[in-house]
Structure 1
């Protein structure tokens, strides 16, 4: 049987703290969602001032990034480049801001952020992931 790494609660807390610090540095009110490799929610943090809708969008971005094992921006680009039929795929969160957490070639989860411009959401997610080293 093959073995693979997984996100521990300590890892999740480290990612969340670093993502929160990145958002605070820029005074961005965001929601941070962290999911496991199956897209199941492990952490949800809606900062003061973040829009209520961000609490739905951030987990969706994280889930699509984990399940697809690629950044959610890839899917946004597919749609924006004219492949409207891709919208029929039964996935939500096809917006930039979901980033997979890759360890030794394995997707162990993802971080989704919502609340500011999509590129800034992705910046916060990547800062969180970077805390894993």
Structure 2
């Protein structure tokens, strides 16, 4: 009887030790992703957007928002991400003012649409949080590229991310 108990305890010990060893085994290595030859989002900087052009973009975005009865905060920033023009539509959510500026700033400084950061978070890639503490990873921020050069960005906030993006895209599309 004693030998049966000893044998059972020994078997349990072997299972416990081997399961710990398996738990510490590193996962198999995966092949690294292909390295692109061309640098992504390599948009050269141009002369920053001026107030008059910013007014036109905000007016277009505001008209789009009104068409849907959306109350938006709309921001246009220069190439450095500094505000050029900000508008809060009547009744727009107050908290979204700084968010719209954050979206525009992120789009300008990273030279890409803010939806890309949102998509990265949604797919479990939280590395973006380590890039810049002011990064805004939400749809609704678009870089403004004129004649192939970055002149600033536009950001909208107040609705859902998709409503923000629809509103701001109209303004962004005025820049060619």
TM-score (norm 2): 0.70
The SS at the match of 1:16 is helix
Q: Within 2, Cα distance between the matches of 1:6 and 1:83?
A: 32
Question: How far did 1:88 drift?
Answer: 2.2
**Equivalent residue number for residue 86 of structure 1:** 128
Q: How does 1:42-57 map to 2 (within 5 A)?
A: 42-57=84-99
* 1:54-133 superposed matches below 5 A: 54-90=96-132, 91-132=134-175
Per-residue deviation, 1:115: 0.6
Distance 1:6 1:84, change over 3 A: closer
Instruction: Compute the displacement of 1:124 (Å).
Output: 0.9
More strand by share: 1
Q: Structure 1 stretches (4+) deviating beyond 6 angstroms?
A: none
Distance in 1 (CA, whole Å) between partners of 2:156 and 2:45 is 29
What is the root-mean-square deviation in Å for CA atoms of aligned residues?
1.7
Whole-Å separation in 2 of the counterparts to 1:3 and 1:15: 19
Residue-pair matches, total: 132
Report the equivalent of 2:81.
Answer: 39
TM-score by length of 1: 0.92
1:113–1:124 contact (8 Å) kept in structure 2: yes
Gaps of 5+ in 2: 1-43
Distance in 1 between the 2:46 and 2:77 partners?
16
Structure with the bigger RCO (C-alpha within 8 Å, sep 6+) is 1
Structure index of larger Rg:
2
